[in-house]
Structure 1
Amino acid sequence: MNRSRTLPVAAVSMAAAAALLLSGCGGGDDKDSGKDKIAGADEGGKKSASPSSKKSDAPAIDRPEMKLPSDVEIEFAKANLSDPDQAAAATDAENFVLSIRHGIVKQDPEDAAYKFYSEYQGPAFKYAKDQIKKNVDAGYTVTGEQHFSGTKVDVVKKKTSAVVSFCSDATKFFSKEVKTEKVHRTKPSVTDFASWEILMTASDSNKGLWRAKQAQVRDGAEECRR
């Protein structure tokens, strides 16, 4: 794919980001809640959601619709998480990733989906926008299958923040020129595998919603190779 996966703040480790969060330099998303009130529907595409072990008394979250074209499949392996907060954090980390792909296929750097699933103007928000804009500016969209597996959740602060990690496999995921629809196929290599870490924080104003605060993506992750 025609993309740069590394955040401008990639030198800052996820552990450091979590430490900042705990020290009071980061937190919930009350400030951004008024900026992304988005009318939507249940997610589309071929994303598999993580399970939640308990029913919530919170009102249903009005999520943006994320429908992908028939030639794009983003698949997440089922994560067996018994804790409902961890399951919610993992599901919305997946939604954050999906929102970037949605913005690319919609060719819209201002797409509502990534704004909903990230803290407003935070590092993850800027990363998502940058990924979408780079593809749009280059005249590329995406096609094929991208698979995610090995989901793990490390709680930073109970019910408030957690780091969600997983691996991605893009051996069957390619760039496609928007104008000509020419697909740029590449031979499978270790560079198709990436390790993801996303720092998620629970929304203060929208119970049950988690948003991405930081994201760190490392290409060429040998440990993610199947």
Structure 2
Amino acid sequence: MYRIRVLPAAVSLTAAAALLLTGCGGDDKGKDEDKIEGAGGETKSSAPASPSASGEAPKFDRPKITLPSDVQIDFEEPKLSDPQQAAALGDAQNFIRAIRYGIVKQDPDESAYKFYSDFQSQAQQYAKEQIKARVDAGLTISGEQRYFRTKVIPTKSAKSVVINFCSDSSKYYSKEVKTEKVRRTKPSAEDFAFWEIAMSPSEGKKGLWRAAGVKVTDPSRECRA
């Protein structure tokens, strides 16, 4: 399997405390960007707005995220009764989509992931490093990546939450930008990773949640079981 490894950035004390609530270890090795695939026509798909406490979409503009038609990011949608938890989950999903968008755009400074992450946070650094590693290697993405076993875990302060995902990248491949050659690999246990994303509400935009810290355990026995 062809891999790009990115060393983990130092997690802030606030984000680290939140992530420790999950009780899971492991290193962030950039597993989520290990593979990609073909090109195709582009479909314009804005990132979905997260619900507000009233159930209505917040009244601010969100970045539009456009992915090639052959890039598919699927999220399991658990039923959440708490609208704030639902909003945090929605924007954690948007943060992941925004990283993929930055790779497609081949721009480590693309604004979408910055919108969905705290300024100069470990999460923002993580996103930039993931995109830059792809750009430097001359790679983009295509294929299907699936996120499942989703959990939303409030922190003790109740001001932030930790979003847990499992991801399956067995149909997610690397693609060379210049030649458009798809680097297909056989499915393996290493296709599964466990995600922890610390999310906090934006102070300036009511209804928006932003990523503060990210931790990815790769590969994950828990997720492939």
State if a TM-score over 0.5 links the two structures: yes
The TM-score range, normalised by the shorter chain, is 0.7 to 0.9
**Match of 1:8?**
9
The offset of 1:220, in angstroms, is: 1.1
Judge conservation of contact 1:177–1:183 (CA < 8 Å) in 2.
Answer: yes
Partners of 1:101 and 1:12 lie apart in 2 by 27
Aligned pair 1:80/2:84, yes or no? no
Give the Cα separation in 2 of the matches to 1:106 and 1:53: 33
Q: Hey, what's the Cα distance between the residues in 1 that align with 2:126 and 2:170?
A: 22
In structure 2, do the counterparts of structure 1 residues 207 and 129 end up closer, same or farther at CA, with 3 Å as the change threshold?
same
TM-aligned CA deviation for residue 82 of structure 1:
0.9
> Is 2:216 the counterpart of 1:217?
yes
Secondary structure at the aligned position of 1:3 is classed as coil
CA contact (8 A) 1:5 1:219 kept: no
C-alpha change, 1:65 and 1:208, in structure 2 (3 Å) is same
Structure 1 residue 162: deviation in Å? 0.5
Residue 152 of structure 1 contacts residue 164 of structure 1 at CA under 8 Å; is this kept in 2?
yes
Question: Which residue number in structure 1 is paired with residue 37 of structure 2?
Answer: none
How far the C-alpha of 1:18 sits from its partner, in A, is 5.7
- Alignment identity in percent? 53
- Unaligned runs of 5+ residues in structure 2 are 21-43
- Contact residue 48 and residue 75 of structure 1 kept, 8 A: no
Amino acid at match of 1:154: I
Residue 121 of structure 1 aligns to which amino acid in structure 2? Q
| SS of aligned partner of 1:173 | strand
| Contact 2:18-2:161 within 8 A present in 1 as well | no
Query: 1:6 & 1:165 partners in 2: Cα distance?
Result: 21
The CA distance in 2 between the partners of 1:199 and 1:160, in whole Å, is 11
Asked if structure 2 preserves the Cα contact closer than 8 Å seen for 1:118 and 1:212, the reply is yes
Structure 1 unaligned regions, length at least 5: 20-42
2:24 alignment partner in structure 1: none
Residue 106 (str. 1) matches residue 102 (str. 2):
no
Aligned 8 A contact 1:109 1:133 in 2: yes
Q: Indicate conservation of the 8 Å contact 2:51/2:58, yes or no.
A: no
Q: Aligned residue for 2:55? A: 55
Deviation at 1:160, TM superposition (A): 2.1
Code of the aligned partner of 1:208: G
Letter matched to residue 162 of structure 1: V
The answer to whether structure 1 residue 147 and structure 2 residue 146 are counterparts is yes
Change (3 A) 1:78 1:219: same
| Aligned partner letter, 1:115 | K
Q: With the length of structure 1 as denominator, give the TM-score of the two structures.
A: 0.80
Distance 1:112 1:224 in 2: 31
The residue aligned with 2:206 is 207
Distance in 2 between residues matched to 1:197 and 1:66, nearest whole Å: 22
Q: Secondary structure at the match of 1:68?
A: strand
Looking at structure 1, the residues matched to 133 and 152 of structure 2 have their Cα atoms a distance apart, in angstroms, of: 30
Instruction: Please say if residues 160 and 198 of structure 2, whose CA atoms lie closer than 8 Å, have aligned partners that are also in contact.
Output: yes
Q: Does the aligned pair in 2 maintain the 1:18–1:156 contact within 8 Å?
A: no
TM-score normalized with structure 2 length: 0.80
